[in-house]
Structure 1
């Protein structure tokens, strides 16, 4: 476990979110229980439900927060390659958020905060794809968007699972390895 953070005063909502992120980082989202989080925070078992409603509400809040953090990082990207690097770096820096963000069966998909944060991420990717010259993105920007997202997400997932350890041997920054691969995807001259 990364650390027990008992709640004493202040922001119970943040304390429960942080405790849930610790549990997810250690054991995965399946181990999250509002009752356990209340125990960790030293509050009644009803207190987390007051803030999140239910377990899915808590995980939705984590997914919305993660998408907001991701959007903030992606919005500062210089180009599509940098966007992919930032996506990989986000996943490596926020693995608990990342584990929850792409599991719709765990979330309240219609939550406005989640939808707004996801829209920010999607808008940023669409803008980066639109900025590519037509030969690089191909005739179908939606396919290019899906390819870019799939590549960054797949690479990040492989890096987080340790599946790339052999391929990355001797390289310190998986995100920079991803940057080196991006010309293979969106530059016809490099293929």
Structure 2
């Protein structure tokens, strides 16, 4: 976007969208506030005005990502299998956010808005896990196992590890459905 292309609107949202796109395509190491400003066509001080620094930018991107994840998980309405697919769908639709959200080394971990956003998506994820509760197993262990299953799959897919694997498939949502079908819901 050239300087003449950006006129009015929500500059913060424009910067976040450009950052998410760049992270998705080029990785987190490709991001600098100066390059982001150039990409959007604004002064090099504009991103610093909105985010302070690179960590502030990534924290805002993670906050936005957790909100988007919460919405996606809410659409699954407490069904573990659908929630797992919703988690995968989120990763596919928002790869730049996904790549940043779980990288605590990039984020201001004590940011109250980040903590609240993370907790909100976590609550939604747990609603699907209640279906898996086993009276013999510890509920926290069940929650951790379920999150590890879907996040691990999403991370493997995002990293490209499943494309060359005999375990992989063309359609990640279909593969996720196949994977979670193996989970015993009795």
Normalising by structure 1, report the TM-score. Answer: 0.86
The 5 Å alignment of 1:31-180 reads 31-78=30-77, 79-134=79-134, 138-165=136-163, 166-167=165-166, 171-180=169-178
Structure 2: where are the runs of 5+ without partners? none
1:168–1:174 contact (8 Å) kept in structure 2? no
Which consecutive residues of structure 1, in runs of 5 or more, have no partner in the other structure? none
Stretches (4+) displaced over 6 A: none
**Does the residue aligned with 1:106 lie in a helix, a strand or coil?**
coil
Going from structure 1 to structure 2, the CA distance change for 1:114 and 1:186 (only over 3 Å counts) comes to: farther
Q: CA deviation at 1:76?
A: 1.7
Residue 12 of structure 1 and its aligned partner are, at CA, apart by: 1.2
Distance 1:133 1:141, change over 3 A: closer
CA RMSD of aligned residues (A): 1.9
SS in 1 for 2:147: helix
How far did 1:172 drift?
Answer: 4.3
Over 3 Å counting, the alpha-carbon distance change for 1:45 and 1:173 in structure 2 is same
1:187 deviation in Å? 3.6
Contact 1:64/1:117 (<8 A) preserved = yes
